[in-house]
Amino acid sequence: MKELSQEEWSEQLKEDKNAVILDVRTDEEVEEGYIPGAKIIDIYKGQEFVEEVEKLDKNKNYYIYCRSGKRSAQACTILDQMGYANTYNLQGGFMNWHGEVEGDD
C-alpha cells in the first residue's frame, strides 16, 4: 500500500491506464456522492467484502478511498494480503476530495 495525497492520487490516477477506483464506504455515505467510475464495495460487509474483492483482477492498480482514509487503509492492507500488487490509499478520504463528484444532489 502507498499513501497518496489528494494531489498525488489525482495525478497518478489520470496517467494510470490500469486503474480501478474502489469506494469502500457504506451505501448511505455513497449517496452523498462518489468519485466518478468508482466500484463500490462496503468494507463493513466483512466476508461479503472479501468475496467481492476476490472477483477483482489482481493485475490492476487499486485506488481506494473511504470517508476519512482509515477504512481505505484497512482495505489496502486486506488487498495486499490477498496478493494484489498495487494499492493506493487516498489520504484524508472523500471528505477532503476536491475532484469531480457524481451523485450528490
Tell me the Cα Rg of the chain: 12
What is the enclosing helix (H) or strand (E) of 25?
none
Neighbours of 68 (CB within 10 A): 16
Cα angle value 29/19/12 (rounded, 5°): 95
Cβ-based neighbours of 40, under 8 Å, separated by 6 or more: 22, 23, 25, 27, 30, 34
3-state class (DSSP) for residue 103? coil
Is residue 76 among the annotated active site residues? no
Catalytic-labelled residue, pool 4, 41, 66, 73: 66
**What are the residue numbers of the active site?**
66
